[in-house]
Amino acid sequence: MDDTAIPYDNWIDEALRGVVRRVLMQAAAEGLPGEHHFYVTFRTPMNGVEIPGFLRAEHPDTMTIVLQHQFQNLEVGRDFFSVSLRFNGKAEALRIPFEAITSFADPSVNFGLQLKAAEAPMDEYDADEHIRSFKPEATVAGDEAEAAAAPVQKNDSSEDEQKTGEVIALDAFRKK
């Protein structure tokens, strides 16, 4: 892309990250309504990603977490979100910059976004950037923590066959 080109792909990606930020802000403020739940995939080596060492060793490139009924301390800042999930029965804090997210899905409504992960380093953590916090009483069970690293699988029920979903890929809009 030359210096005079309008960076549509960057603006679209920025807008899509805004959707993810906004939905997480709503979940932090109000909890998750109905059957909504989120799969968030992010690049683990990205600057600003804070996860326990054993998770980084198990997921050296990407990791998917599930935010469903049982998560704690969801906080959303301008450039990141943080949440506590249970792995092997122990609560672990994760901090994920929005720039590290590569996909976001809400399978309950067949909604998904594909994002390009930035390569630039992120700024240091700024505690003043926290916006809202929600602390549900439940915690993530071991099986759900294991599911967090698994890909989304489609249920074979006839109701799911009637629903249609769409994953938005920016490549379709890029000039070749």
Range(s) of the domain holding residue 65: 8-170
pLDDT at res. 27: 93
CATH, residue 104: 2.30.30.220
Phi, psi of 142 (to 5 degrees): -55, -40
Question: In this structure, is residue 3 part of a structural domain?
Answer: no
Residues 37-81 have pLDDT tens digits of 999 999 999 999 999 999 999 999 999 999 997 788 999 999 999
Is the entire prediction scored with pTM above 0.75? no
The total number of structural domains in the chain stands at: 1
Question: In this structure, is residue 95 part of a structural domain?
Answer: yes
DSSP 3-state of 45: coil
Residue 163 has pLDDT above 60, yes or no: no
Phi, psi of 20 (to 5 degrees): -60, -45
Answer yes or no: are the C-beta atoms of 21 and 76 closer than 8 Å. Answer: yes
Residues 109-152 have pLDDT tens digits of 999 999 886 654 433 333 333 333 333 333 333 333 334 433 33
| % of residues, the chain, pLDDT over 90 | 52
